[in-house]
Amino acid sequence: MTFKTEITRDDILSIEDYSKQRQQSKDRIKLIKAHRRVGVGPDATFYFENYDTMLYQIHEMLFIEKGGDDQLTDELEAYNPLIPNGRELVATMMFEIDDPIKRTDFLNKMGGVENHIFLTIGDDKIKAVAEDDVDRTSASGKASAIQFIHFPLSNDLVTRFSDNNTQVILSIEHDHYGHMAILNSDTRDALAIDFSS
């Protein structure tokens, strides 16, 4: 399998061709995503992205919205930055609170949360780098419910991440939300394919 860090127009099926294999694509991506989801505390979930998850997302957006070539240009621009470059992990982090009043109250206290997310590999703590497409904390201090983050890793950290003798912890260390989760071996194995050899 070729390691890919970018989706091009050549990778995109026509809506007609995609519609014929849409259910198969859904089934395939469900298996891929099974171990790429990590809950941190009661309200935050990290969905680790890669070439396959973003290719599926673009196909779904085009299938649903049918915006043609102009939409494809926008989708490629939006989703390509969320494909790991071979020496990083990339995640969509979502605060998932169903009650709209509780969600608003919570997000109003979470300004700057993107600066308080960490991945700890053994004794090394890596601070998340937020995707800079838009400001995800408003001037009033309200955080967005969705954050796109990168964890850049050195060659040594990539090696240690894949060593199950090394503990890996994902954490949010905000004054109003302090939680962590230990990544299990299934998740680490699934994420290890995001690293180029």
Give CA–CA dist 69/71, Å, rounded: 5
Task: Please report whether residue 142 resides in a domain.
Answer: yes
Task: Please report whether residue 1 resides in a domain.
Answer: no
pLDDT value, residue 139: 67
Which range of residues forms the domain containing residue 95? 12-192
Task: Please report whether residue 2 resides in a domain.
Answer: no
Task: Please report whether residue 3 resides in a domain.
Answer: no
How many domains, the chain?
A: 1
Task: Please report whether residue 4 resides in a domain.
Answer: no
Closest CA to 69 of 80, 58, 54, 79: 58
CA dihedral defined by 95, 6, 170, 197, rounded to 10 degrees?
170
| Phi, psi (rounded to 5 degrees) for 134 | -145, 160
Task: Please report whether residue 45 resides in a domain.
Answer: yes
pLDDT value, residue 83: 97
pLDDT in tens, the chain (197 residues): 568 999 999 999 999 999 999 999 999 999 999 999 999 999 999 999 999 999 999 999 999 999 988 999 999 999 999 999 999 999 999 999 999 999 999 999 999 999 999 999 999 999 999 987 666 777 678 999 999 999 999 999 999 999 989 999 999 999 999 999 999 999 999 999 999 97
pLDDT value, residue 134: 62
pLDDT value, residue 156: 96
